[in-house]
Chains A and B, each alone.
Chain A
């Protein structure tokens, strides 16, 4: 009995293809049942997310035969033509177990080291487990994958730092303010990135959002969406007294905020710390304001370069993660081989091989 994986991911296929082969959650139990009733698998788990669609099966069949049959199943169950060999990959032991561990650790994700995939993998496994489609092989492989993901998270820096502009902005805000609770955020210019940043700040407890935009209608729509309030664009500086974080992304060709304008506003604010995030190009805020005491200014390049540095650091951690995964995957496969050969294998050795 060996574990085989067949699937599509963001690495091998575009979203147009992946969406055609995605499994709706409600249809997964039937698909699992079909895999087993047709003799294609003894145990099966289906993982279907926006970035990957994968079948994990345990089968007594020859890996080559199992792979061929699974690819046909993949096409027929969706009533689609079979994708080509580069788009639809297949892996068998030990690579299949290694791949499962990499996926669990976020090493195969579009955002390197992200943790959402682990939750999705757990849900996929739970669904198969509750429907009775898993057994000793997949149970052990998946549970070990979850343990490895935890180990990688605690022993390496693969998940450290924020790698999107919005999350870097939130992290910066938390370096300035003890907590975001009670701090008001102003969005000047209703762009996509500023909206995402405002949402991220709100999710971390920011008190409320004030939106100022040249198109007041757009400001009102965004303010309603974010649970805040809209103000007229020409009035934004009057609101500044209460604001602690301002995100600016207007299309203005010149600076809308400079040192001369900010200095009196800082006095009105009793010199409380002020975080300014300038996402606009050309920039909305004169860089000179960063020299004012208690003012912290970041432009889009600052945020992007921090995100890139974090990503670089995550990439440096890949070798460490790979070493952990390699060791644990080999242990799982060797343990199963010994069991199948009828060797006496102590349970503890398989649970925690040294």
Chain B
């Protein structure tokens, strides 16, 4: 086993493992940031996640070049792509110094999903034809994963919102000393990311609906389709409620986090039950 590990040095799984290790370091560092009340500019965490992203990207591209297509062909690849999209989105919005603290909230998600993705059973060797292949499938898988990335990041922004809101109400000095962005800004960032994720999810689901499926499968009764429709509906209700000022502030933030937790907890299970995704 140890020999296998060493012979695998430089492989995409090995590079991804190193990236996940850095996500773990970032998560531990984030605990200290949180305990210190986010008082100093968070460059260290940004650099840690940048380092992880470099390894992560290399792993992703290596897998993609080896397959000659977008590497979203099994659960491992799907999660690698999802976490990569999340990190990329973080690195872009983290260019704004005050939003850099989103990294402290996103790194636990990246680490947990990364560790889960590394389970060997999720990455079976590809046969002649990967589980998901073809242009429409690639579009479907890529947009859905990007949507999950956006949802992950908006859940992190929502967690920041709740932290800052709690401090402003009940731990006032901590709020004053922290460098977290204003809650108005956090609300704006979270709602825009949710909207981007929702649009990507809609495109991804529409593309998925066009993919020819096996005979005998009743599309609208399929587990993953029903799950996706439920997810789409939850985000639609939440965003509509936010626009109509029915879900604002704390309720909106809790809604975003709640739906994302639902995704993380049920994604794998629904995939196992799906005849389309787990033939």
Contacts and interface: CB of A to CB of B under 8 A. Distances in A.
The finding on whether chains A and B are genuine partners in a shared complex, rather than unrelated, reads yes
B183 interface: yes
B245 interface: yes
A302 B172 CA distance: 8
Contacts of B172: 172, 298, 302, 305-306
Nearest to B251: A293
Given A176-B168, A176-B183, A273-B184, A293 B176 contact: no
A172 B167 CA distance: 11
A313 B237 CA distance: 46
A302 B169 CA distance: 11
Interface of A: 161, 168, 171-172, 174-178, 270-273, 290, 293-294, 296, 298, 302, 305-306, 309-310
Given A178-B184, A273-B183, A296 B164 contact: no
Contact of B164 (A171, A175, A270, A271): A175
Nearest to B176: A306
Nearest to B183: A176
28 contacts: A161-B177, A168-B176, A172-B168, A172-B172, A174-B182, A175-B164, A175-B168, A175-B183, A176-B168, A176-B182, A176-B183, A176-B184, A178-B181, A178-B182, A178-B184, A178-B188, A270-B245, A270-B248, A271-B245, A272-B248, A293-B251, A294-B249, A296-B168, A305-B173, A306-B172, A306-B176, A309-B173, A310-B176
Interface in B165-189: 168-169, 172-173, 175-177, 181-185, 188
A175 B184 CA distance: 8
Contact of B176 (A172, A271, A273, A290): A172
Given A175-B168, A296-B169, 12 more contacts: A161-B177, A172-B172, A172-B175, A175-B182, A178-B185, A270-B245, A270-B248, A273-B183, A296-B168, A302-B172, A306-B173, A306-B176
Interface of B: 164, 168-169, 172-173, 175-177, 181-185, 188, 245, 248-251
B182 A161 contact: no
A147 B177 CA distance: 27
B149 to A, nearest CB: 25
Given A161-B176, A176-B168, A309-B173, A293 B250 contact: yes
Contacts of B176: 161, 168, 171-172, 175, 306, 310
A177 B249 CA distance: 13
A161 B174 CA distance: 12
A304 to B, nearest CB: 11
Contacts of A305: 172-173
B31 to A, nearest CB: 23
Contacts of A171: 176
Contacts of B249: 271, 273, 293-294
Contacts of A302: 172
Contacts of B245: 270-271
B112 to A, nearest CB: 29
A294 B248 contact: yes
Contacts of B164: 175
Contacts of B175: 172, 175
Given A178-B182, A306-B173, A271 B248 contact: yes
Contacts of B250: 293-294
Contacts of A175: 164, 168, 175-176, 182-183
Nearest to B170: A290
A309 B185 CA distance: 26
Nearest to A291: B169
Nearest to A303: B172
Contacts of B182: 174-178
A176 B181 CA distance: 9
Nearest to B247: A271
Contacts of B181: 178
A306 B176 CA distance: 8
Given A161-B176, A271-B245, A290 B169 contact: yes
A29 to B, nearest CB: 45
B167 to A, nearest CB: 9
A302 B175 CA distance: 12
A67 B41 CA distance: 49
A161 B178 CA distance: 11
Nearest to A244: B184
Nearest to B244: A270
A171 B184 CA distance: 14
A175 B173 CA distance: 12
A176 B250 CA distance: 13
A270 B185 CA distance: 17
The 7 A-B residue pairs with the shortest CB-CB distance in the complex, in nearest-first order: A270-B245, A271-B248, A294-B249, A178-B185, A293-B249, A293-B250, A178-B184
B97 to A, nearest CB: 14
Nearest to A162: B176
Nearest to B182: A178
A105 B185 CA distance: 35
Contacts of A161: 176-177
Contact of A293 (B173, B177, B248): B248
A174 B182 CA distance: 7
Contacts of B185: 178
Contacts of A271: 245, 248-249
Nearest to B186: A178
A294 B248 CA distance: 8
